[in-house]
Amino acid sequence: MNPLLTKSYTTGAIVAPCRLVKAGTSDNVVIQATDGSAAYFGVSAENLTVASGDMVDVIKAGLAWIELGDTVARGDKVKADSVGRGVAVTIVAGTTVHVAGTAQVSGVVGDIIPMMVEPTVVNNDTGIVTADIEITTGQLLAL
């Protein structure tokens, strides 16, 4: 896998591998995400389950392995289910949904697939607005 940015955080609860994480109750603390209502910090590393209070590596940008909680098609935008697994985003006009990234391959419940981590929020009153952006390695390094 090719994570572009990985950062270590303290866990505020048990964090399973390949799960979406969000901010915990204090700075530099993460917990497993439980839906699409809060901003994502990234995806927990694939190596092991981390106990509360221990350190976990979180992939914040680039490709990361994500465990699926439902069927996802290649190219689907992904958010968290109730236990931090990736599920396809359904955006309804007038709602706000946090998106964690884009599925790189299709999969079903329990599969671990590569996802491009690109946390964003969709907040719109009339429907879906999307933009595909490509950044070269040179452009990324210039940031």
Average pLDDT, the chain: 88
In the chain, the percentage of residues whose pLDDT exceeds 70 is: 88
d(CA 51, CA 49): 7
pLDDT score for 66: 97
Does 112 have pLDDT greater than 60?
A: yes
Residue 85 Cα distances to 49, 109, 128, 136, 143, angstroms = 14, 9, 23, 29, 30
CA dihedral 91, 98, 115, 49 (to 10 degrees): -130
Its pTM stands at 0.83
pLDDT score for 60: 93
pLDDT range class, residue 2, cuts 50, 70, 90: confident
In terms of phi and psi (left: phi > 0; alpha: psi -120 to 50; beta: otherwise), the region of 127 is left
Question: Structure tokens of 43?
Answer: 């995806």
pLDDT score for 96: 83
